[in-house]
Chain A
Amino acid sequence: MEDAELLEAVARQDQSAMAELFDKYSRLVYSIALRVLHEPDLAEDVMQEVLLQVWRQPGGFVSQRGSVGAWLAVVARNRSIDVIRRRAHMTPMEEMVLPEPRNLQRAVEDSYLMDQVRVAVGALSGEQQSPLHMAYFEGLTHTEISERTSTPLGTVKTRIRTALATVRNALEA
């Protein structure tokens, strides 16, 4: 079942559709949460809450916000960062209605594209990947990354931009 159909069924409180959504995205959500939190129990709690959020408020996701996978990734990451920062925060990104960027929104569900991205990211050196990893999975600001790694702020920004450009190029190849 396509995601749009799944969400429609979830909106009708169809548990089998929710189970299918779980099977499709739970590993993504859990993996992101675990990478941020490093604690399986906490990561599972976040995964449950993120997916239950879809169940309880299926209108919270609208197709204009992009792909379900990309949106769940954003929410999973933000919820996990919330946990480690002990904050209660809803970022504007989660409610932002965005245009579809050149058919990229389905990228997260496209295994071929993801393979391309995986190869491209894998080709980046650890030094090139590290700032983006710290920003995404640890929720550090550019300045904090600069201080923690004793790297000039400009270099941190450049490396993050370069890493994202690498992802973009792989998606558009």
Chain B
Amino acid sequence: MSMREAFHIPEEDLIQYVLGTLKDTQMSQFTAHISLCNACRGQLANFQVELASFAAVQPFTELPAGARDRFMTRLTSDQASETGFAQMRDKSRASGGLRSIQQWVESPVLFRIVSGALAAALLYVGSDDLSHIHQLRQMQPELARFEGQAGELADLQDFLRGSNTQQVSLHDRPEINKTSEGHVIYSSSSGKLVFTASNLPSAPLGKAYELWILPASGAAPVPAGVFKPDLQGNAAVIFPQIPVNVNAGAFGVTVEDEAGATKPTLPIILSGQ
């Protein structure tokens, strides 16, 4: 039995998860686990429907007079501008994400939930952006590799908790794609790197994406992993084989042959420093 399968969230906690009444730290922990655990996701789905059904059988109240007209008037005049909800959500994500994930990284649960370690990486770099739930699933092959390798897991845990890492967001150039993005956590002293990306278009046939470290010294770019996005455009590179003590001035992603390249081919799809 894998470690992932050995732990499931208790029913009462899943119920509170659906109700949103858990503490932020627990929400983050459970989100990470649920994203990777089909059994808990199934239970969660049941509770969601049961709670909605419970709500739906309470006596209905008729709408106030004119409510439909008011709604349709607002619908007609509605602009594509940001909604109050969107603003609330953005504000919430911006302010709460890093804090809650930091708390999670400090939690002892990290030692027990292998999946959590990888989830922490994504949630941390994604500033609690829940779209990264999809990325978590994309990382499952990497997770499987780590499950049997406690030493590497400990390394990953230390790495994510380390204070001497660079964290860089990579953004696309406007003419290529508005929404593709990547995030890097990198430590030159240990030569360790975690990279996640989202909204990448599929690589051309026979091609793949390649991540590069562009040394601050101006030396030749260092290849840091070849990857292909999944159907949702998400991808991850975890602890690629790279030399230590390469001080990064920037990071870039290019399209290369599937086998990888020794030097990058323009154009640079994503870049950040």
Contacts and interface: CB of A to CB of B under 8 A. Distances in A.
Interface in B45-80: 45-64, 67-68, 70-72, 74-76, 78, 80
A44 B51 CA distance: 22
Contacts of A27: 60-63
B15 A160 contact: yes
A19 interface: yes
B127 interface: no
Interface string A29-53: 0111011000010001001110111
A160 B75 contact: no
B105 to A, nearest CB: 18
A103 to B, nearest CB: 10
A99 B31 contact: no
Interface stretch (B87-95, B150-158, B170-178, B205-213): B87-95
A73 interface: yes
B92 A90 contact: yes
Interface in A74-103: 74, 77-79, 81-82, 88-93, 95-102
B56 A69 contact: yes
Contact of A31 (B11, B44, B61): B61
Interface residues of A, number: 74
Contact of A99 (B15, B16, B42): B42
Interface in A1-43: 15, 18-19, 22-23, 26-28, 30-32, 34-35, 40
The contact size tier of chain B is 35 or more
B75 A140 contact: no
A92 B50 CA distance: 18
B19 A135 contact: yes
15 contacts: A15-B75, A28-B55, A30-B67, A53-B83, A55-B78, A56-B83, A81-B20, A93-B44, A93-B48, A96-B41, A98-B48, A118-B57, A121-B54, A141-B22, A171-B49
Q: Which 10 A-B pairs have the closest CB atoms?
A: A88-B88, A98-B45, A70-B52, A73-B52, A118-B57, A91-B20, A101-B45, A141-B21, A95-B130, A167-B50
Interface of A: 15, 18-19, 22-23, 26-28, 30-32, 34-35, 40, 44, 47-49, 51-53, 55-57, 66-67, 69-70, 73-74, 77-79, 81-82, 88-93, 95-102, 104-105, 107-108, 113-114, 117-118, 121, 132, 135-137, 139-142, 157, 160-161, 163-164, 167-168, 171
